C-alpha cells in the first residue's frame, strides 16, 4: 500500500511503531523495520550516549529505514537532538512538547521530521515550521496524552494541514487501520500492540497485564498538574489518584512515579511500576512477531478498504 508516508520514509507498509520510553529499544525497532514498517527507538528519559548506542545497534540489525523518538521533557534533549543529526537516522519523531528549536539542524542533516501533535493549533504551527508530517495522537493512547480523542483529532488535523497525517491512539488491528485511512490518515502509529510483540524486551509480567487487560482497565494519572499519563490500573495508580484527589503537590506525586516505568518494563514490578498502555489493550490478546502483526493488519485493512 502506497501513501505519501510510505514514499517519504521509503517503507513498505504505512505502520509506525510508537517510540515508547524503555520499551522501544533496538531489538523492537529493528524487527518492525525488517518487517516493512518503521521501527522507532524511544529516547524516553535516557542519556544521549545511550541513544547513540541504540542507533548503532539498530544499524547492525537492519539496513532498512528506522527512526528515533525524542521525548522533549528529557533533560538531555539538546544533546540527543545533536546525536540524531550526527548519526543520520531516516526520521525523527517527537513527543510531549514543541520541537521547533531543533528543526533546522535536523533538516540540514536530511532527516525527515514528524512531531506528535495533540491539537490542530500545534499541527498548523509545525507545518509552518517545515516538518514533513505530523502524528495526530488521541487520548486513547498509553503514556503521556493530550485531551482529544483520535476520532475527533485526526480529521480536524487532516483538514487543517496539507502535509501527511499519521493517526495514533486506539489503533491495534486492521479495522483501526482502515478507520484511520477513512479519517484521512496516510499511516498509523501503534504502541500497545508492539509492547507485547515477540521481539519486545518488556518483562513477561507487564506483557501479561496488557494481554489480560479489559477495555476499562486504564487510568489517567497526573491530570491535575498538566502531565496526564495513561497506564493500566494497579496499586500505584490507586495510591497516586488518591493523593492527587487530596491535593498532593507535584513533587510528592513525582516521587511516587520516579523510576516506575523502568520498574515495570525491566523488573516486571506490576504493583509499584507504571504499566503504560492504551485503551486498546483490551483488544490485544496474543503475543505475535512484528512481521505477523504487520501482515495481519495489512491483510484485514486491504479487504476492508476494497469494500468501500
Interacting residue ranges for ligand TUI, rule: CB under 6 A? 21, 44, 71, 95-98, 116, 118, 122, 137, 143-146, 227, 229, 261
**Residue placing its CB nearer to ligand TUI in the complex, 45 or 184:** 45
Q: Residue 303 CB, nearest distance to ligand TUI (Å)?
A: 30
Q: Residue 98 CB, nearest distance to ligand TUI (Å)?
A: 4
Q: Give the integer Cα–Cα distance in Å for 57 and 27.
A: 8
Among all residues, whose Cβ is closest to ligand TUI? 143
**Residue placing its CB nearer to ligand TUI in the complex, 21 or 131:** 21
Q: What secondary structure, in 3-state letters, does the chain show?
A: CCCHHHHHHCCCCCEEECCCCCCCCHHHHHHHHHCCCEEEEECCCCCHHHHHHHHHHHHHHCCCCEEEEEECCCCCHHHHHHHHHHHCCCEEEEECCCCHHHHHHHHHCCCEEEEEECCHHHHHHHHHHCCCCEEEECCCCCEECCCCCHHHHHHHHHHHCCCCEEEECCCCCHHHHHHHHHCCCCEEEECHHHHCCCCCCCCHHHHHHHHHCCCCCEEEECHHHCCCEEEECCHHHHHHHHHHHCCCCHHHHHHHHCCHHHHHHHHCCCCCCCCECCHHHHHCCCCCCHHHHHHHHHHHHHHHHHCC
**Residue placing its CB nearer to ligand TUI in the complex, 100 or 268:** 100
**Residue placing its CB nearer to ligand TUI in the complex, 29 or 116:** 116
**Residue placing its CB nearer to ligand TUI in the complex, 102 or 174:** 102
Question: Which sign does the torsion angle of CA 177, 181, 187, 192 carry?
Answer: negative
- Residue 226 CB: number of other CB atoms within 10 A? 7
Q: Residue 231 CB, nearest distance to ligand TUI (Å)?
A: 9
Q: Residue 141 CB, nearest distance to ligand TUI (Å)?
A: 7
Q: Do 89 and 66 touch, CB atoms closer than 8 A?
A: yes
**Residue placing its CB nearer to ligand TUI in the complex, 127 or 137:** 137
**The residue to which cell 501482515 is assigned:** 295
**Residue placing its CB nearer to ligand TUI in the complex, 272 or 300:** 272
**Residue placing its CB nearer to ligand TUI in the complex, 23 or 197:** 23
Q: Residue 276 CB, nearest distance to ligand TUI (Å)?
A: 6
Q: Residue 294 CB, nearest distance to ligand TUI (Å)?
A: 21
Q: Residue 11 CB, nearest distance to ligand TUI (Å)?
A: 20
Count Cα atoms within 13 angstroms, Cβ side, for 238.
Answer: 7
Q: Residue 36 CB, nearest distance to ligand TUI (Å)?
A: 24
Amino acid at each position: 500500500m502506497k501513501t505519501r508516508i510510505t514514499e517519504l520514509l521509503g517503507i513498505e507498509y504505512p505502520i509506525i511503531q510508537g517510540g515508547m520510553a524503555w520499551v522501544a529499544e533496538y531489538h523492537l525497532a529493528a524487527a518492525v523495520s525488517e518487517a516493512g514498517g518503521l521501527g522507532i527507538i524511544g529516547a524516553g528519559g535516557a542519556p544521549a550516549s545511550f541513544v547513540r548506542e541504540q542507533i548503532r545497534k539498530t544499524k547492525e540489525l537492519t539496513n532498512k529505514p528506522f527512526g528515533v523518538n525524542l521525548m522533549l521533557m528529557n533533560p538531555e534533549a539538546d544533546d540527543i537532538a545533536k546525536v540524531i543529526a550526527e548519526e543520520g537516522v531516516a526520521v525523527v519523531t517527537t513527543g510531549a512538547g514543541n520541537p521547533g528549536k531543533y528543526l533546522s539542524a535536523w533538516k540540514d542533516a536530511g532527516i525527515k521530521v514528524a512531531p506528535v501533535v495533540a491539537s490542530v493549533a500545534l499541527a498548523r504551527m509545525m507545518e509552518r515550521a517545515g516538518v514533513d508530517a505530523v502524528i495526530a495522537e488521541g487520548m486513547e493512547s498509553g503514556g503521556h496524552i493530550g485531551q482529544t480523542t483520535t476520532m475527533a483529532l485526526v480529521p480536524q488535523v487532516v483538514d487543517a494541514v496539507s502535509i501527511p497525517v499519521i493517526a495514533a491512539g486506539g489503533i491495534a488491528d486492521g479495522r483501526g487501520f482502515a478507520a484511520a485511512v477513512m479519517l484521512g490518515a496516510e499511516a498509523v502509529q501503534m504502541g500497545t500492540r508492539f509492547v507485547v510483540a515477540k521481539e519486545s524486551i518488556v518483562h513477561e509480567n507487564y506483557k501479561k497485564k496488557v494481554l489480560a487487560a479489559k477495555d476499562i482497565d486504564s487510568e489517567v494519572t497526573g491530570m491535575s498538574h498538566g502531565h496526564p499519563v495513561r497506564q493500566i490500573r494497579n496499586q500505584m495508580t490507586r495510591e497516586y489518584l488518591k493523593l492527587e484527589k487530596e491535593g498532593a503537590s507535584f513533587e510528592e506525586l513525582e516521587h511516587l512515579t520516579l523510576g516506575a516505568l523502568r520498574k515495570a518494563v525491566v523488573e516486571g514490578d506490576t504493583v509499584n511500576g507504571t504499566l503504560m498502555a492504551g485503551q486498546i489493550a483490551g483488544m490485544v490478546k496474543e503475543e505475535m512477531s512484528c512481521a505477523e502483526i504487520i501482515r495481519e493488519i495489512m491483510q484485514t485493512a486491504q479487504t476492508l478498504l476494497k469494500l468501500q
